[in-house]
Amino acid sequence: MKLGFYTYSYIDRLKMGIEPVLEAVAATGYAGVDVSATWHDDLDPALMPSAARDLYVRTAHRFGLEIEAVITHLGLVQALRTGLPINLEGAVALARHLGARVVTFHIGQADEQPEEAWGQAVDYLRRACAYAGRHDRVIALDGVWVASLVPTAEAAFRLARDVDLPHFKHNYDPCYLALSDQDLTQATPLLLPATVHVHVKDYTGRYPDFQHRIPGEGVLDHALYLGLLQASGYEGYTVNECFIDAPLERACPLGFRTLSDALRKVGSA
């Protein structure tokens, strides 16, 4: 497995520069980065300036980093209902420009008409995944948890079955499974066949009263889920995802050390 770092909180939320952030990530020892599919406060991936796209590519190359995934943020259900520009096809086009293979999306919150929302999401995802397939990219569901339209691993399995296209995949997030009182040893095997990417954050408290933490500062058992991933043959990226309250100079090395130690513990380092 390879370790990556997700830059959204720092480049897009805190408006730090692409070059100093990627330099810090590379210096820590990460092999790759996830980047936002949207630029700063924009909502539509098609609006990312060409100068920013090119700077990502040049800077990642200079520091020996792979751009492995682009991440969208709008909830799909709410975006379809209100006409917001979720634009997964635009995110796929961005991924091609950056050399990333994976585009992730959030399904969105549970809806007042869940079956109708489910059907609309499936129809949209079929079109988007067909487009991704034509361009050798995959679209991955990001985050299974209790506050979303896909609250369980069983629901994620159903969504994959309903979309029924090979370019629909899963971005595994053990933290949100744990926060949703899903037993990782039971939920993870349902998700592993479609898992192409992993996002890791840590937490304290319990849903709905919880706090995001840097990996290593919370209660998540990192060796448990990494051992399950290793046993399944997963060889992709495990990505440290931190939030704006976690300073880069602490989040970057602490997450790397925590995940590296856990990988060594399960014999995958």
Quickly list DSSP for 188-229.
HHHHGGGEEEEEE-EEEEETTEEEEE-TTSSS--HHHHHHHH
3-state secondary structure of 102: strand
- All domains of the chain in start order, with CATH: 2-265 (3.20.20.150)
- CB count, 10 Å around CB of 135? 12
Burial class (CB in 10 A: 0-12, 13-18, 19+), 184: middle
pLDDT in tens, the chain (269 residues): 999 999 999 999 999 999 999 999 999 999 999 999 999 999 999 999 999 999 999 999 999 999 999 999 999 999 999 999 999 999 999 999 999 999 999 999 987 789 999 999 999 999 999 999 999 999 999 989 999 999 999 999 999 999 999 999 999 999 999 999 999 999 999 999 999 999 999 999 999 999 999 999 999 999 999 999 999 999 999 999 999 999 999 999 999 999 999 999 998 76
Q: Closest Cα partner for 123 from 93, 155, 152, 80? A: 80
| Whole-number pLDDT of residue 37 | 98
Beta-bridged to residue 200, according to DSSP, are 240
Q: H helices within the chain, ranges in order?
A: 8, 18-28, 50-62, 76-82, 88-98, 114-134, 153-163, 174-179, 184-191, 222-232, 248-265
Tokens at 96, concatenated = 């091609």
Residue 200 has phi, psi (to 5 degrees) of -125, 125
Q: Is 162 exposed, middle or buried (0-12, 13-18, 19+ CB in 10 A)?
A: middle
Distance of CA 101 to the CA centre of its chain: 12
- Find out whether 8 and 40 touch, Cβ atoms under 8 Å: no
- What pLDDT was estimated at residue 47? 97
- Beta partners for residue 66, in sequence order: 32
Q: Is 68 helix (H, G, I), strand (E, B) or coil?
A: strand
Backbone φ/ψ region at 6: left (φ over 0), alpha (ψ -120 to 50), beta = beta
Place of tokens 């980093």: 65
- Phi/psi at 71 (5° precision): -115, 125
pLDDT at 112: 78
| Cβ atoms of 170 and 140 closer than 8 Å | yes
pLDDT of residue 269: 63
| Alpha carbons 217 and 262: distance in angstroms, whole number | 14
Structure tokens at 236: 């992709």
Pairing of strands 209-213, 202-206: antiparallel
Two structure tokens written together for 94: 């961005």
